Amino acid sequence: MQLDLDSLNALLTAAKKLDAGFANLPTFTPQIPGAARLNEVLAETAARLQDNYPYFHPLYAGQMLKPPHPVARLAYALAMFINPNNHALDGGRATSTLEKEAVAEIAAMFGWQNFLGHLTGGGTMANLEALWVAGQLAPGKKIIASEQAHYTHHRISSVLQLDFESIPVDSHARMDLNALEARLVAQNDIGTVVVTMGTTATGSVDPLPEILKLRDRYNFRIHADAAYGGYFTLAQNLAPPTAAAFAKISEADSFVIDPHKHGLQPYGCGCVLFRDPSVGRLYKHDSPYTYFTAAELHLGEISLECSRPGAAAAALWATQKLLPLQKSGEFAIGLEQGREAALSLHKKLAAGDKFIPTFEPELDIVIFVPRPKSQTTSLTEISAASRRIFDSAATKNLHLALAELPVAFFQNLLASTHRDKPTITTLRSVLMKPEHAQWLDQIHEILSSVW
């Protein structure tokens, strides 16, 4: 974990400053039940928390996980001394303002000045709000997303009782435009197309510019799920079609971006934004309990969730203060490093004789399988070998992930491979920490030693 004592000291200094703001109150003795055993229980908690993969370390190169920035961790901890609730100004005055400022900065990253948006508990909740609004604007019409879209869209649609359909993907895991158009032509029943700006499994980006052209012809709503990929709009080392897709997010009707994925935030921080602020009318409700202290809009009046951590807003605001969301800024460079690391690992794997990667990564996810050691093998055998490599690499501290993916994503499998099932178990590596770029040789060395 490489505990940084300086940052704990910074927290102490900031906590004293926060405390000074309440110095005019009469002193009181807080009642803390169980205080005598606090250290003991905290130590026990630390021991229990040791049962985790080392997500913070560069050799953790598996799932979409990275540590929050220290300023986010500290600002979150600082705000916890107050524990504000961003549902209403009554519960979180300062952090509601911080949320509005931080969300406006996210919107500005996509060129939006006039919009409706707020933080959520995560990407699922943010997507749920977007599809809830979409469903109200096009009652009785369907939601469609690609077969590689996050599973949450299908489930959310069923929660909202909206019909859902999947559209096939091409060999690069992007929504297949011909299949989409064929579906739009077949029947005039599509209300919203969910466009994934970075799929969870492979980091593939749906062709948003072409889907926008279809919108002109067939009139549907576009919701961009940029939960994982959204921040890559700041990266300047994307392939031209990927960069062109990110440049068009501003033309979507709504989008979701997760600060708790690539935005250096602790979990509990998603964000949903709508291009047309007037959709706020769809949220309208009365609360007899909460909305008394100000004529100003409370965040709870434009979100489905009620209580939400103001600490998440403080953490995000502080992070964006330290690392503004700008092209060529330190934050953007971190994203570019991840993309560079993914490209380099892909190249190394393709150049060697031990592994077969899929298509070139669009963002920072690399997918590969072990190259079979004999001419005649089956997808079942390759899948089993992927699982063995996953386990053996972990014994050498290299932690990868597994993904079950269509065999069509592998254009360079041997012709003699027996295709005994439609999918193949692959190794998956999300290289989302800037440090990954310096650790590629070690990662590659360990991989080569286990196959």
Ligand X SMILES: Cc1ncc(COP(=O)(O)O)c(C=O)c1O
Nearest distance from C-beta of residue 225 to ligand X, angstroms: 5
> Does residue number 309 form part of the binding site for ligand X (CB under 6 A)?
no
DSSP symbol at 141 = P
431 contacts 398 by C-beta, under 8 angstroms: no
Helix runs in 81-234, H state only? 93-109, 123-137, 152-159, 177-186, 208-218
- The type of residue at 251 is E
| Continuous H helices in 81-122 | 93-109
Q: How many residues at the interface with ligand X, by CB under 6 A?
A: 14
Q: Smallest gap, in angstroms, from Cβ of residue 438 to ligand X?
A: 26
- Can you tell me which residue has the tokens 């360079």? 412
Task: Name the β-bridge partners of 143.
Answer: 164, 192
CA distance linking residue 177 with residue 183, whole number of Å: 10
CA 403/CA 407 separation, integer angstroms:
12
- Please tell me the distance from the alpha carbon of residue 129 to that of residue 270, in angstroms, as a whole number: 11
Give me the least distance between CB of 65 and ligand X, in Å please. Answer: 10
CA Rg value for the chain: 24
The 236-265 contact track toward ligand X, x by CB under 6 A, reads ----------------------x-------
Q: Which is nearer to ligand X, 64 or 299 (CB)?
A: 64
Least separation, in Å, of the C-beta of 426 and ligand X? 17
**CB burial readout 410-420, b (16+ within 10 A) else e:** beebeeebeee
Task: Out of 59, 61, 64, 400, name the contact with ligand X by CB under 6 A.
Answer: 64
Question: Which CB, 129 or 301, lies closer to ligand X?
Answer: 129
Judged by beta carbon, residue 248 or residue 298, the one nearer ligand X is 248
CB within 8 Å of 339: residues ≥ 6 apart: 232, 235, 237, 238, 361, 363, 364
Strands (E), 110-178: 116-120, 142-146, 164-167
Answer for which of 85, 95, 148, 196 binds ligand X (CB under 6 A) is 196
| Rounded Cα gap, residues 177 and 208, in angstroms | 10
Q: Work out how close the CB of 72 gets to ligand X at its nearest, in angstroms, rounded to a whole number.
A: 16
CB of 122 to ligand X, least distance (A): 3
- Compare residues 64 and 190 and give the one whose CB is closer to ligand X: 64
Closest CA to 176 of 188, 166, 164, 191: 166
Q: Least separation, in Å, of the C-beta of 90 and ligand X?
A: 27
Query: Which x/- pattern, by CB under 6 A, does the window 108-147 give for ligand X?
Result: --------------xxx--x--------------------
Quote the least distance from Cβ 202 to ligand X, whole Å. Answer: 11
Interface with ligand X (CB under 6 A), residue from 107, 130, 180, 227: 227
> Using CB under 6 A, which of the segments 139-147, 162-170, 223-231, 414-422 binds ligand X?
223-231
Which of 85, 146, 157, 200 touches ligand X (CB under 6 A)? Answer: 200
Nearer to ligand X, 301 or 362 (CB): 362
At residue 333, the 3 state secondary structure works out as helix
- Based on CB atoms, which residue is closest to ligand X, 167 or 413? 167
**CA 443 – CA 427 distance, rounded (Å):** 13
Residue 92 or 122 with smaller CB distance to ligand X: 122
Q: Which phi and psi (to 5°) does residue 54 adopt?
A: -80, 75
Exactly one of 69, 141, 150, 221 binds ligand X (CB under 6 A); that residue is 150
Sequence-distant (6+) residues with CB within 8 A of 450 are: 389, 392, 393, 396
CB of 23 to ligand X, least distance (A): 39
- Between 313 and 446, whose beta carbon lies closer to ligand X? 313
Residue nearest to ligand X (CB): 123
Within a 13 Å sphere around the CA of 354, how many CA atoms are in the beta-carbon half?
Answer: 16
Least Cβ distance, residue 270 to ligand X (angstroms): 5
Count of CA atoms in the C-beta half-sphere (13 A) of 2:
7
Q: Give the interface with ligand X as residue ranges (CB under 6 A).
A: 64, 122-124, 127, 150, 152, 196, 200, 225, 227-228, 258, 270
